[in-house]
Chains A and B, each alone.
Chain A
Amino acid sequence: MKSKKIQNDFDDMMDYDNKNNKGESDLNLDTSKNIDSDILDNKNNQKKYTNSDIDTEEKANQLRSTNNSRSSDSKFFAIRITGGQENIVANVIQNKINSKKIDLYSVLILEHFKGYVIVEAPDSNIAYEALYGIRHVRGQIRGDLPFSDIEKYLVKKPVVTELNIDDTVEVIAGPFKSMKAKITRVDYEKQEVTVLLLDSPYQIPVTVDANYLKKTP
């Protein structure tokens, strides 16, 4: 009897062990499946990422093309006005466009063009509509200006950001005009640069406005 009981107990234990092993193996299988599925998911994600990358690039290209098409829509017209009244005319145009819904893009006043206001609009009719009835407006120059003519007058970055110590520069304005100089100090906040004039017999440090300097290669 005892031996039978022992045998039964042993069998039970073996069954228990087997079950456990099976369980473990099942678990292992599950984990391996999980890992495999994770890897597949990652691959899919990578594929998705690459696809999304391509999509974003395509969208960016589309945006660029639309931007180009938009920018090509705008035309520039030079408006002749009474000299010295540029600010007044600009303010009147601003008030008029704020009150009426006129599709004008921008108004530009350059100090180099006294007596003229440059208007950016999609069409000459819109420019005419914006300026009609405004005092001091004398007329409009026929045709539109190319953007390349205006672009050189637009100051994109302050000159001082491009200047560094020991750079050789040329003075383009002021009493030291057309003289070459070497930078010894740059004040980025005040936009002032201290230079040593190379052409003068004595090397005196002179502080000049950064806008008066042009970097020479």
Chain B
Amino acid sequence: MPKELACKNCKAITIGKVCPVCHSTDLSSDWTGIIIVFNPEKSQIAQTLEIKTAHKYALKVS
């Protein structure tokens, strides 16, 4: 399985070299926690974390 990296800017998890959400290249392999948002408009967690795009995110990126 390819190594998943988390964007330091928006915390989106990707296997590529560019963040698919914010197009940043500042990625980190040191992340913990996962949140997969399917419906950002109705999800209470997405509203709390101010997530507006359905994607897989890390909870903590360092």
Contacts and interface: CB of A to CB of B under 8 A. Distances in A.
Interface of A: 67, 70-71, 73-74, 86-87, 90, 93-94, 97, 103-111, 120, 122, 147, 150-151, 153-156, 191, 209, 211
Given A120-B43, A209-B62, 9 more contacts: A74-B43, A86-B34, A104-B39, A105-B44, A105-B46, A106-B36, A107-B36, A108-B45, A153-B33
Interface in B22-62: 32-39, 41-50, 56, 59-60, 62
B34 A87 contact: yes
Contacts of A156: 48-50
Given A94-B56, A153-B59, A109 B33 contact: yes
A204 to B, nearest CB: 23
B38 A106 contact: yes
Interface string B13-27: 000000000000000
8 contacts: A87-B34, A105-B44, A108-B36, A111-B32, A120-B44, A151-B48, A154-B59, A191-B62
A110 to B, nearest CB: 6
Nearest to A191: B62
Choose among A86, A87, A107, A209 the residue with the greatest number of B CB atoms under 10 Å from its CB.
A107
B60 A108 contact: no
Contacts, number: 77
A106 B47 contact: no
A103 to B, nearest CB: 7
Interface of B: 32-39, 41-50, 56, 59-60, 62
B48 A155 contact: no
Given A97-B38, A155-B59, A105 B43 contact: yes
B47 A109 contact: no
A71 B49 contact: no
Nearest to B49: A154
Residue of A73, A94, A120, A122 with most chain B CB atoms under a 10 A cut-off: A120
A104 B38 contact: yes
B45 to A, nearest CB: 5
Contacts of B38: 97, 104-107
A90 B39 CA distance: 16
Contact of A211 (B33, B36, B44, B60): B60
A93 B56 CA distance: 12
